[in-house]
Amino acid sequence: MLVLLDRDGVINVDRPDSVKSCDELSLIDGAAEAIAQLNRSGVKIAVVTNQSVVGRGIITPDALDAIHRHLQQLLQSKGAALDAIYVCADHPDHATHRRKPEAGMLQEALQHFSADPAKTPMVGDALRDLQAAKAAGCPRYLVRTGKGSELEKSGIPDALAPVEVVDHLPAAVAHIMARYRI
């Protein structure tokens, strides 16, 4: 089984000015433990993240790689690991099919892990995460961390239903494990 996760607002604190260095990356409480729980159950985990901070020239691709190495180190210190990180660095004004709300990154992960979209939940905190998951045929989870609470208040479009709304990644993982009998 595969679970897809957005990064900012799901695993780490979402910053209004984006995560631009390792020092600016901090895990959301309970996120590492939730990932470790999936790891122990043999579930593969892929992050699918838009990082226009690269496409806009704010940081380099090497700086983003360093941030992701740091993320893996933080997770490993708590017994957790990501199996893959898919990044779309496109500038929002020049987006390809990989940039969420398009489904390109999700489809790459599904193909790489030979996963059935209907049994591959996507956990995100933004409308574009839910839109990409719907386009890829994946079950959708919205966490209230990051931008999720605002989206819940403004209303999730009916076209994206069903969407499970949960407080945070640990709650999403608990729901996923129960739903899929992991």
Considering the domain boundaries, does residue 43 fall inside one?
yes
For the segment 33-82, what is each residue's pLDDT rounded down to a tens digit? 999 999 999 999 999 999 999 999 999 999 999 999 999 999 999 999 99
Using CA atoms, how far apart are residues 116 and 97, in angstroms rounded to an integer? 20
Residue 72 β-bridge partners: none
**pTM: predicted TM-score of the whole model, two decimal places:** 0.98
Counting every residue written for the chain, the total comes to: 182
Considering the domain boundaries, does residue 1 fall inside one?
no
| pLDDT in the model for residue 163 | 98
Q: Phi/psi of residue 87, each to 5°?
A: -125, 135
Considering the domain boundaries, does residue 105 fall inside one?
yes
| pLDDT in the model for residue 126 | 98
CA 140 to chain centre: 11
| R_g over Cα of the chain | 15
Using CA atoms, how far apart are residues 33 and 79, in angstroms rounded to an integer? 8
Instruction: Show the low-confidence residues of the chain (pLDDT under 50).
Output: none
- Which residues have a catalytic role annotated? 6, 8
| pLDDT in the model for residue 140 | 98
> 66: domain range?
6-179
| pLDDT in the model for residue 127 | 98
| pLDDT in the model for residue 44 | 98
For the chain, how many structural domains are there in total? 1
CATH number assigned to the domain comprising residue 139: 3.40.50.1000
CA distances from 76 to 34, 72, 79, 90, 136 (A): 13, 6, 5, 28, 29
| pLDDT in the model for residue 104 | 98
DSSP 155-181: ---GGG--EEEESSHHHHHHHHHHHTT
